[in-house]
Structure 1
Amino acid sequence: MYWKTVQGTLFIDDLNAFLQNLIALSDEYDVTIQAMDAGKIAGISHIELAIKKAGRAFESGNNVARDIGVEILRYASGKRQIVEAFSIGIKEGDISVVFLVLGEKDKVDAVLPELDSMVCKSDVADYSGEKEDAIRSHFDISTEETDAIDVSRIPDIVLERVALVDILK
Structure 2
Amino acid sequence: MYWKTSQGTLFIDDLNAFLQKLNALADEYDVTIQAMNAGKIAGTPHIELAIKKAERAFKAGSNVARDLGVEILRYVSGKRQIVEAFSMGMKEGDISVVFLVLGEKDKVNAVLPELDSMVCRSEVTDYSSEKEEDIRTHFGIGFAETDAIGVSRIPDIVLERVSLVDILK
What TM-score range do you get, normalising by the shorter chain? over 0.9
SS across alignment from 1:83: helix
After superposition, what is the alpha-carbon deviation per residue over 1:63-85, rounded to whole angstroms, capped at 9, x for unaligned?
00000000000000000000000
| In the alignment, structure 1 residue 77 sits paired with structure 2 residue 77 | yes
The separation in 1 between residues aligned to 2:49 and 2:14, in whole angstroms, is: 30
Runs of 4+ in 1 over 2 A off after TM superposition: none
Match of 1:18 in 2: 18
SS across alignment from 2:21: helix
| In the alignment, structure 1 residue 34 sits paired with structure 2 residue 65 | no
The separation in 2 between residues aligned to 1:92 and 1:56, in whole angstroms, is: 32
What is the aligned-residue identity percentage? 83
Q: Which AA in structure 2 matches 1:9?
A: T
Match of 2:149 in 1: 149
What's the TM-score, normalizing by structure 1? Answer: 1.00
Shift of 1:162: 0.1
Gaps in structure 1 of 5+ consecutive residues: none
The separation in 2 between residues aligned to 1:160 and 1:90, in whole angstroms, is: 24
Gaps in structure 2 of 5+ consecutive residues: none
Shift of 1:8: 0.1
After superposition, what is the alpha-carbon deviation per residue over 1:106-141, rounded to whole angstroms, capped at 9, x for unaligned?
000000000000000011010000000000000000
The separation in 1 between residues aligned to 2:154 and 2:94, in whole angstroms, is: 25
Match of 1:108 in 2: 108
